[in-house]
């Protein structure tokens, strides 16, 4: 009986890298609300008392970038100068310029013919699904996200009033025969006020956070709990660690259970296949697993800049498929159209829906109505294969 361990992490919305992702996607959403065909590639950087928003934008929209950055900081809980950055007083530098015409010519002037829209860049993307959790996501990542969401909720509701915005979780799951058997270790690092004791924090977080959200049947006497292992986490957020857009791509995707392409998601409009094709690959993989055609599915796709048709679409079911991969690939090729313009059209992606994905993952989000999380191709897949 094969045993192995898998560890995944998550971070709260107050983590500096996630602040950067939220600002970049907040800018994207504001532009898309006015100009759905805008070209956007925005990066953010945060450090003590400062935010820098830079990138390439081609749009007819006018937006308040500083206002967006301050709103993200405020909603994440950075409202006191003692936190090292304050929504009201932070210095915010905006350095946006127009997209290169060399890139734009590959995707522009074809917006009325989605079948002709070329990929905004080269690259490879991956979509993954597994039946080990209800959201069809890897268990360690699903559990880690549950912890960080609950940390944020406990801070915002006052259930644990000493918590500050920054925080991280990490969960190690022991597998047996490719199924989660038990939770081996849970690590939580939560920023806190200086006057709370380490003993109280550990007791509260284990009992009121970890054990509240994780499956009791997977926790046993050998499960290890670590809370702020250094003993103190007062200085955090952008004061403790510079934040950058796109630095948490494993948190955003599958927690290391599946590959990730070279590009991040946040701040990019959906002509960038780093984002749209990764979403569509997840859409295909999730429908394969939801249809009962495999217990695990990895969909792989690759593109060349300016060319609509992908260079590659491949599927791996890791030996868990109920039909041959040849037949499955034929079905996917018939039902799913991986050309960028068709992805955008099918999933209706030219909408301001992205800032909400910039915390707690882009996939497996049962709390959000995301088009790539729907399982509306299940009947079509089954019908094609019968």
pLDDT tens, position by position, for the chain (386 residues)? 689 999 999 999 999 999 999 999 999 999 999 999 999 999 999 999 999 999 999 999 999 999 999 999 999 999 999 999 999 999 999 999 986 665 555 555 444 588 889 998 899 999 999 999 999 999 999 999 999 999 999 999 999 999 999 999 999 999 999 999 999 999 999 999 999 999 999 999 999 999 999 999 999 999 999 999 999 999 999 999 999 999 999 999 999 999 998 889 999 999 999 999 999 999 999 999 999 999 999 999 999 999 999 999 999 999 999 999 999 999 999 999 999 999 999 999 999 999 999 999 999 999 999 999 999 999 999 999 98
- Do 160 and 128 fall into the same domain? no
Task: Let me know if residue 60 belongs to a domain.
Answer: no
Overall residue count recorded for the chain in this entry: 386
Question: Which one of 209, 235, 261 terminates a domain?
Answer: 235
Rounded Cα distance, 147 and 139, in Å:
12
**The pLDDT value given to residue 362:** 98
Whether residues 128 and 173 fall in one domain: no
Domain membership of residue 157 (yes or no) is yes
Same domain for 162 and 192? yes
Looking at the structure, do residues 158 and 307 belong to the same domain, yes or no?
no
Which of 331-369 are b and which e, b meaning 16 or more Cβ less than 10 Å from the residue's Cβ? bbeeebbbbbbbbbebbebbebbbbbbbbbbbbbbeeee
pLDDT of residue 105: 53
Distance between CA atoms of residues 154 and 167, nearest Å: 12
Tell whether 219 is covered by a domain: yes
Distance from C-alpha of 298 to C-alpha of 133, rounded to nearest angstrom? 16
Of 284, 373, 385, the residue nearest 337 (C-alpha):
284
Show contacts of 247-250: CB within 8 Å, 24+ apart.
247/17, 247/20, 248/11, 248/15, 248/17, 248/18, 248/21, 250/8, 250/9
Report residue 190 as tokens. Answer: 């939560």
Domain boundary among 235, 262, 293: 235
Cα 232 from Cα 230, distance rounded (Å) = 6
Task: For residues 216 and 280, state if they share a domain.
Answer: no
Determine the distance from the C-alpha atom of residue 335 to the mean position of all C-alpha atoms in its chain, rounded to a whole number.
Answer: 25
Q: Are both 128 and 170 inside the same structural domain?
A: no
**What is the H or E stretch that residue 187 is in?**
strand 179-192
How many whole angstroms separate alpha carbon 247 and alpha carbon 257?
A: 17
- Report the alpha-carbon distance of residue 384 to residue 361 in Å, rounded: 32
**Among candidate residues 379, 360, 380, 303, the one with its CA nearest the CA of residue 143:** 360
Domain carrying residue 290: 123-132+273-385
Beta-sheet pairing, 179-192 with 163-176 = antiparallel
The Cα–Cα gap between 198 and 185 comes to: 19
Q: Is residue 241 part of a domain?
A: no
pTM: 0.95
CATH (domain of 352): 3.30.300.10
Residue after which a domain boundary falls, among 208, 235, 262: 235
Q: In terms of domains, do 209 and 226 share one?
A: yes
The verdict on residue 290 lying in a domain is yes
Residue carrying the six token digits 């939580």:
188
Q: For helices 378-385 and 325-335, what crossing angle results, to 10°?
A: 130
**What does the alpha-carbon distance between residue 66 and residue 64 come to, in Å, rounded to a whole number?**
6
Residues 367 and 347 reside in one and the same domain: yes
CB 77 within 8 A of CB 50: no
Distance, in Å, from the CA atom of 295 to the CA atom of 289, rounded to the nearest integer, reads: 6
Rounded CA-CA distance 128/137 in Å is: 8
Number of structural domains the chain divides into: 2
pLDDT value at position 330?
Answer: 95
DSSP 258: S
pLDDT at 386: 82
How far is the CA of 264 from the CAs of 222, 311, 338, 354, in angstroms?
37, 20, 19, 13
CB atoms within 10 A of CB 104: 16
Same-domain check for residues 282 and 350: yes
218 with 280, same domain: the answer is no
Does the residue 29 lie in any domain? no
Same domain for 229 and 282, yes or no, is no
> What are the structure tokens assigned to 314, written together?
């491949």
Give yes or no: residues 193 and 219 share one domain. yes
The answer to whether residue 373 is domain-embedded is: yes
Does 246 fall in a domain?
no
């Amino acid at each position: 009986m094969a045993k192995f361990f898998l560890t995944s992490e998550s971070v709260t919305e107050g983590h500096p890298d996630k602040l950067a992702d939220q600002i970049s996607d907040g800018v994207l959403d504001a532009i898309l609300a006015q100009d759905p065909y805008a070209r956007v590639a925005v990066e953010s950087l945060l450090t003590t008392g400062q935010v820098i928003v830079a990138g390439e934008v081609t749009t007819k929209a006018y937006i308040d970038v500083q206002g967006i950055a301050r709103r993200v900081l405020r909603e994440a809980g950075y409202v006191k100068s003692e936190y090292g950055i304050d929504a009201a007083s932070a210095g915010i530098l905006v350095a946006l310029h127009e997209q290169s015409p060399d890139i734009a010519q590959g995707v522009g002037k074809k917006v009325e013919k989605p079948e002709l829209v070329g990929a905004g860049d080269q690259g490879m993307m991956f979509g993954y699904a597994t039946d080990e959790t209800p959201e069809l996501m890897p268990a360690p990542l699903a559990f880690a996200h549950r912890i960080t969401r609950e940390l944020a909720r406990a801070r915002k509701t006052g259930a644990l009033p000493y918590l500050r915005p920054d925080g991280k979780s990490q969960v190690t799951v022991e597998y047996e025969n490719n199924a989660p058997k038990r939770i081996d270790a849970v690590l939580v690092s939560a920023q806190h006020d200086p006057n709370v004791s380490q003993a109280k924090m550990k007791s509260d977080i284990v009992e009121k956070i970890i054990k509240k959200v994780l499956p009791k049947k997977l926790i046993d006497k050998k499960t290890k709990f670590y809370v702020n292992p250094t003993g103190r986490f007062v200085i955090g957020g952008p004061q403790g660690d510079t934040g950058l857009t796109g630095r948490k791509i494993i948190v955003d995707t599958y927690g290391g259970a599946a590959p990730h392409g070279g590009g991040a998601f946040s701040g990019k409009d959906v002509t960038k296949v780093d984002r749209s094709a990764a979403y569509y690959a997840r859409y295909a993989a999730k429908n394969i697993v939801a249809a009962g055609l495999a217990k695990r599915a990895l969909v792989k796709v690759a593109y060349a800049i300016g060319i609509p048709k992908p260079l590659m679409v491949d599927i791996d079911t890791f030996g868990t498929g109920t039909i041959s991969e040849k037949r499955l690939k034929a079905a996917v090729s018939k039902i799913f159209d991986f050309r960028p313009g068709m992805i955008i059209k099918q999933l209706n992606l030219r909408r301001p829906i992205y800032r909400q994905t910039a915390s707690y993952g882009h996939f497996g989000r049962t709390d959000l109505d995301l088009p790539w999380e729907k399982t509306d191709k299940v009947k079509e897949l089954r019908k094609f294969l019968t």
